[in-house]
Amino acid sequence: MLREGRDSDAEGFIALIGACWAEYPGCVLDLDGEVPELRALATYFRDQGGALWVAEEQGRVVGMVGTRPMREDAAWEICRMYVDAATRGAGLAAALLDTAEAHARAAGAERLVLWTDTRFTRAHRFYEKRGYVRHGSIRILDDLSHSLEFRYAKPLRGLVVEALDAAAAASAERVLSDLLVACVAEGASLEYLPPLAPERARAFWKQAATAVAAGTRVLLAAWHDGRLAGTVTLDLATAENQPHVAAVQKLLVDPALRRAGIGRALMRRAEQAARAHGRRILALDTRAGSAAAALYVAEGWSELGRIPGFEIDAAGHAAATVFFWKPV
């Protein structure tokens, strides 16, 4: 049962958090020295304008999550997110986070932020699956556990396109890999044939994150109502005599969210990024007659030429590849 948290849940909160921390060597719950608010947590969140929820099973606290407003740019923080080990894998964590996100959205949040210990790798995978990416520096806490924390964040409302730095790109690998696999399965012209093995997709995005760190690639990601729904890359590693040129690659949009303006928003943001990096000419290629080709034409790209039979589909049928360019 999911309900609002109460101060009387204190013993359950303390036991749950203590058990979760005990899964990781070196994590110490110093209740009175570091987290005395756990003794009256509902009041603590209410005084900050936030809210707290608890998942209860046979009278025992098995999950919890809180959210509260932050001072920065209509952002809300997700915090105190814990699930009992015995109940994981059944959707409880998703239900808790759904509840907290819905509350923040209804309260006007434009962005969500959370902090998680660098040792909590299971939590990282969960948040990344939900569209959160690493954002900003690691936080150092002066506590008995010698905690270091990652900051994760994501836009929550509407269609938002952002550039990912190397850390964010690495944390987005799983979601972007799933997106690449799904788009290849749909028959997109992406240099791969279906079925694309997940490990091959992950290898591509690992390479992309490395290129972002080296400054030779720009990686853009699009969120649609809090869901990481699309991406495109801008390759800056051009020839020595082409410092003003960049290549647009891997435009991907979640097949379930097509025709929502995501591809168009990504392409326009790619053009802005190109100008910011001093690039005046962009180039790309795709399968002739594809939805991507129609988008590029609509966005003012000029066809340079075609090569008949340049690529094949999963059935072995040859198709022409069309090459585009655009001055920016």
Task: Of 211, 130, 217, 135, give the one whose Cα is nearest residue 175.
Answer: 130
d(CA 231, CA 24): 34
Short-list 122, 48, 113, CA closest to 82: 122
CA 168 to chain centroid: 8
Helix (H) or strand (E) holding 150: strand 148-155
Q: What is the b/e burial string over 284-295, where b = at least 16 CB atoms within 10 angstroms of the residue's CB? A: bbbbbebebbeb
Distances (CA, A) of 257 to 79, 155, 188, 231, 262: 29, 17, 15, 13, 8
Entry pTM:
0.95
70: nearest Cα among 144, 136, 16, 26? 136
Per-residue pLDDT of the chain (328 residues; tens, 9 = 90+): 999 999 999 999 999 999 999 999 999 999 999 999 999 999 999 999 999 999 999 999 999 999 999 988 799 999 999 999 999 999 999 999 999 999 999 999 999 999 999 999 999 999 999 999 999 999 999 999 999 999 999 999 999 999 999 999 999 999 999 999 999 999 999 999 999 999 999 999 999 999 999 999 999 999 999 999 999 999 999 999 999 999 999 999 999 999 999 999 999 999 999 999 999 999 999 999 999 999 999 999 999 999 999 999 989 999 999 999 999 9
